[in-house]
């Protein structure tokens, strides 16, 4: 009877410990890169094995005004397209496989985009700040063309954060780039989180798997076609030479470029 009690106690302790290593977070994302604010709600589920970051298109507020702007200084076009979809966006980080995959639509093709988890190089600073109920520490890093400031809490010892951010000894509570174009701020934190968490992108069999570098190439080809379309709409005699499509999203430049 004593052995049975000990086994039961160990089982309960294991379940409690497992629950303590799960967190649910809701972030509000602000995107000012288009000149008009875009507000997005994102959800993050994290356990010891995976983080699952999701965005429902219904939780996005913006004016759907598609446009392109031309910059004479560097002969570039900035393309702004607001995509609408009925499908949830998923970005899943697998800590054991050191990998990331997310779903994306490019023209008529649905992709599962795969990449290696980025080895963020964070600088941890002395500044401290309380955000909600959590004591947070400042950290800074550079990622694909932008510099970021993050605030993380060691009180939630999970190596994760919104979108692709990770690598700190605690959950990232807030993060923004130095130009104040993109920011993620927590609205809700449930820790420990006791519910089941999503594990995979739904209906993966309906998607084509593609590596990130190849996917960026597909996007570049679509952008070239877009530039050609712009050329046909320009007045006669307008100069159109070596036109570049300028990125304005979160990621501006990739490691292989």
Mean pLDDT along residues 31-59: 92
> Is the per-residue pLDDT at 11 higher than 90?
no
C-alpha 253/C-alpha 257 separation (Å) is 7
53 pLDDT band, cuts 50/70/90, is very high
pLDDT at 222: 56
Structural domain boundaries in the chain: 22-65+86-212
Query: pTM here?
Result: 0.78
| Of residues 26, 7, 12, the one with CA closest to residue 193 | 26
Per the structure block, which two tokens stand in for 27?
A: 């972030």
Regarding predicted confidence, which is higher, 127 or 220? 127
Indicate the range of 32-36, 61-65, 113-117, 240-244 predicted with least confidence: 240-244
Mean pLDDT along residues 139-167: 97
> Is the per-residue pLDDT at 6 higher than 80?
no
Distances 148 to 38, 45, 153, 174 between C-alpha atoms, Å: 19, 22, 16, 10
Average per-residue pLDDT for the chain: 81
> Is the per-residue pLDDT at 201 higher than 80?
yes
Count of CB atoms within 10 A of residue 3's CB? Answer: 7
Indicate the range of 122-131, 155-164, 170-179, 214-223 predicted with least confidence: 214-223
> Is the per-residue pLDDT at 163 higher than 90?
yes
111 pLDDT band, cuts 50/70/90, is very high
C-alpha 10/C-alpha 18 separation (Å) is 12
CB 169 within 8 A of CB 156: no
Look up the CATH architecture of domain 22-65+86-212. Clam (2.50)
Count of CB atoms within 10 A of residue 26's CB? Answer: 15
């Amino acid at each position: 009877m004593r052995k049975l009690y000990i086994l039961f106690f160990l089982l309960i302790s294991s379940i409690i410990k497992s629950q303590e290593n799960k967190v649910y977070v809701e972030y509000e994302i602000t995107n000012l890169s288009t000149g008009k604010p875009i507000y997005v709600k994102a959800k993050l589920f994290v356990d010891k094995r995976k983080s699952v970051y999701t965005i429902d298109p219904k939780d996005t507020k913006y004016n759907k005004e598609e446009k392109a702007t031309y910059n004479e200084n560097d002969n570039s076009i900035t393309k702004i397209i607001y995509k609408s979809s009925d499908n949830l966006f998923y970005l899943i980080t697998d800590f054991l496989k050191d990998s990331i995959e997310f779903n994306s639509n490019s023209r008529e093709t649905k992709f599962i985009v795969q990449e290696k988890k980025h080895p963020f190089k964070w600088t941890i600073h002395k500044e401290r700040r309380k955000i909600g109920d959590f004591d947070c520490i400042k950290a800074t890093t550079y990622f694909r063309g932008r510099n970021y400031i993050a605030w993380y809490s060691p009180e939630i010892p999970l190596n994760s954060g919104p979108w692709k951010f990770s690598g700190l000894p605690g959950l990232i509570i807030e993060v923004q780039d130095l130009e104040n174009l993109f920011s993620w701020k927590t609205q809700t934190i449930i820790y420990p989180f006791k519910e089941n968490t999503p594990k995979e992108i739904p209906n993966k069999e309906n998607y084509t798997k593609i590596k990130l570098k190849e996917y960026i190439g597909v996007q570049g080809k679509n952008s070239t076609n877009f530039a050609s379309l712009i050329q046909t709409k320009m007045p006669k005699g307008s100069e159109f030479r070596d036109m570049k499509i300028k990125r304005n999203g979160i990621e501006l430049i990739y490691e292989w470029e």
